[in-house]
Structure 1
Amino acid sequence: MQILLSERSRVFERADPHAVSGYVNQHVGNHCLRMPSHGHPEASLNHRKFASLDLCRISYGGAVRVTSPALESIFHLQVLLNGHCLWRGAGQEHYLEPGELLLINPDDEVDLTYSADCEKFILKIPTAVLEGICAEQRWLHPRQGVRFTENRYRLGELEGFVNLLGMVCMEAEASERLPRVEEHYQQIVASKLLTLLSTNVSRECLASPLAAFERIDDYIERNLKLDIDIEELARQSKMSLRSLYALFERHAQSTPRQYIRQRKLERIRASLADPTCNVRNVTELALDYGFLHLGRFSESYRQQFGELPSETFKRRG
């Protein structure tokens, strides 16, 4: 198996397990450590922060039970390196062996009992990272958030994942840390988890970018009289703001806001020019479409159509 955090990341070696537990509570996540009252176990801990991730390699030197309430905004992934572990949760029990991976969702309580010779590698990843990947890829998940539907795997079943963890650990221990590289690796780790493990995320093939733009254009057309919020438009389109702006640049050569203003002006012009359309005056029509500054509206109209809105209105006869 790949080396997951070397001695370069050592924080504690042969230390009091409660001291190690206190460090974990302060820097990684809250938990409660229960140990037998007899003996003098010695614990070790390697730890690195990497972008928004926490990487830990830990052994307690004695049989311990670790419990924690739901971590709420954190996914807890651990790989058993040595020894054995009993996981309890949702009315179930699993015995984990070396080379097995356990994934705990943010709303699951933690209840783990380790053998005295146990050593584990822990990856903690914020929910925002995984949900950000879904937004970027336009993958869908239920409103309550991303969840893993199976929590136990053998590393050999997850193609390339252990090698990826090894590379992340090497980068975390590099003498020169580059934030952009760390963000890049973080995105890869999150994407791998979402594609290799069973989740509630739908990754069905999406329609072409042109079809996506046409759906957005239809939404704009149906809501032209409203003040269309760009962030809401992105949510309706199930994409990130960056992806939305890229889509408009590709298909409309403008920003979403510019495009919406252009479509409003085109609708106003069509109404002003149509004798069958019930328009009392230019001001009323402009206000209907959200143009509150009439001087700016007239200037934008003139720039787009080469005449003032009053001139268009007069020609309708």
Structure 2
Amino acid sequence: MMHAQLLSQRSTVFDHADPHAVSGYINQHVGTHRIGMPRSGRPLASLNHRKFASLDLCRISYGGSVRVTSGALENVYHLQVLLHGHCLWRGRGLEHAFTPGELLLINPDEPVDLTYSADCEKFIIKLPVQLLESLCDEQRWRYPGQGVRFLENRYRLDELEGFVGLLAMICQEAEASEPVPRVQEHYAQIIASKMLGLMKTNVSRTCLGSQAATFEGLADYIARHLKQDIDSEALARQARMSLRSLYGLFERHAGTTPKNYIRQQRLERIKACLSDPACNVRNVTEVALDYGFLHLGRFSDSYRKQFGELPSETLKRRH
């Protein structure tokens, strides 16, 4: 009953076809993999497929016992629902024989090793990393430095409240005679939200608090590490947010990029030091190098643009 709702014949791309042709199509649209076929017999594979906003939806059967292997998926997640037959999964030093109604989640950094039974049929959703990242941004959840990871690989569909109905709805919407892109985007976000809500992940769903407080914390961190090499990626990890969120935060509170803000703060610190007789500075070059300005010509130009005078003039004035 369930599988009939997940992509109908209207989405058929291959029917009783060469498994290698189906595999080639999968490599183009769903994820790079290799298949190992039995030496005897001529299995016939079938595939239904739809693009759906940033997702790919497919229903696949190879028609024979097939081993599917792949390196890490890198920038996508796979959600695979077993509809018929059996599928042996090997990963994380474990193995599990999936049965109909079970769901397998594959993280972007995990290699794939699956053996399908001859009667195995699956429904697969490919989700891009950016979809889950943008969702964390919108919800203001703490974004893990290593990216979103699903901590458990397998679930039973009947344990995931409302999930089967949602899968059926997106398949119905995918096959609509006049698809509406905005509606599809909303559904894609809903399925990602549902996954983060129902399944165990490394995402802390604690809100980051007020943006001002977050920015103040980062400004304090920068002030304490001005002589060290600070890049945007390190700041994002420190704030436990994505790069996109970090850039938005600095645009709202400082009107510039993190890199420019750090350079401005370094120049401010250098000016304070050059102006203060108590600060032990022998020359401009020494203090510029101390704060990571390796190209002295560019440093002097940036300093003049920010303060209207050369650093040497600031130093002279304090004597």
TM-score range, shorter chain: 0.7 to 0.9
2:114 maps to 111
SS at match of 1:69: strand
Q: For residue 140 of structure 1, what is the amino acid of its counterpart?
A: P
2:72 maps to 72
2:142 maps to 138
1:298 maps to 304
Larger deviation, residues 291-300 vs 131-140? 131-140
Gaps of 5+ in 1: none
Q: For residue 3 of structure 1, what is the amino acid of its counterpart?
A: Q
Residues 1:85 and 2:86 aligned together: yes
SS at match of 1:211: helix
The number of residue pairs the alignment matches comes to 305
Offset, 1:277: 1.4
Contact 1:139-1:204 within 8 A present in 2 as well: no
Contact 2:137-2:245 within 8 A present in 1 as well: no
Q: Write the distance in 2 (CA, Å) between the matches of 1:22 and 1:250.
A: 46
Q: Write the distance in 1 (CA, Å) between the matches of 2:124 and 2:230.
A: 44
Q: Write the distance in 1 (CA, Å) between the matches of 2:302 and 2:22.
A: 64
Aligned positions of 1:147-158 closer than 5 A: 147-158=149-160
SS at match of 2:144: coil
Larger deviation, residues 72-81 vs 127-136? 127-136
Q: Write the distance in 1 (CA, Å) between the matches of 2:81 and 2:37.
A: 21
Select which of 212, 217, 220 maps to 2:219: 217
Q: For residue 297 of structure 2, what is the amino acid of its counterpart?
A: L
Per-residue CA deviation, residues 97-122 of structure 1 (Å, 9 max, x unaligned), is 2x332224453443334364x54312
1:194 maps to 196
Offset, 1:47: 1.0
Per-residue CA deviation, residues 31-57 of structure 1 (Å, 9 max, x unaligned), is 42546956x876432112335533111
**What TM-score does the superposition give when structure 1 sets the normalisation length?**
0.74
Q: For residue 72 of structure 1, what is the amino acid of its counterpart?
A: A
Give aligned-pair identity as a percent: 59
Per-residue CA deviation, residues 245-303 of structure 1 (Å, 9 max, x unaligned), is 2212333344334432332233233223322112334565455442633244223212x
Q: For residue 50 of structure 2, what is the amino acid of its counterpart?
A: R
Contact 2:104-2:154 within 8 A present in 1 as well: yes
Contact 2:277-2:318 within 8 A present in 1 as well: yes
Q: For residue 222 of structure 1, what is the amino acid of its counterpart?
A: R
1:239 maps to 241
Select which of 260, 266, 273 maps to 2:268: 266
Residues 1:120 and 2:122 aligned together: yes
Contact 2:60-2:121 within 8 A present in 1 as well: yes
Q: For residue 85 of structure 1, what is the amino acid of its counterpart?
A: H
Q: For residue 96 of structure 2, what is the amino acid of its counterpart?
A: E
Q: Quickly say closer, same or farther: Cα 1:86–1:292, change in 2 above 3 A.
A: same
Q: Write the distance in 2 (CA, Å) between the matches of 1:227 and 1:36.
A: 57
Contact 2:34-2:70 within 8 A present in 1 as well: no
Q: Write the distance in 1 (CA, Å) between the matches of 2:27 and 2:167.
A: 23
Q: Write the distance in 1 (CA, Å) between the matches of 2:285 and 2:87.
A: 72
Aligned positions of 1:299-314 closer than 5 A: 299-302=305-308, 312-313=314-315
Q: Write the distance in 2 (CA, Å) between the matches of 1:55 and 1:295.
A: 54
Select which of 11, 14, 17 maps to 1:12: 14
Offset, 1:313: 4.3
Contact 2:142-2:204 within 8 A present in 1 as well: no
Q: Write the distance in 2 (CA, Å) between the matches of 1:67 and 1:183.
A: 33
Cα RMSD over matched residues?
Answer: 3.8
**What TM-score does the superposition give when structure 2 sets the normalisation length?**
0.74
1:94 maps to 97
Offset, 1:17: 5.3
Contact 1:265-1:301 within 8 A present in 2 as well: no
Gaps of 5+ in 2: none
Q: For residue 80 of structure 1, what is the amino acid of its counterpart?
A: L
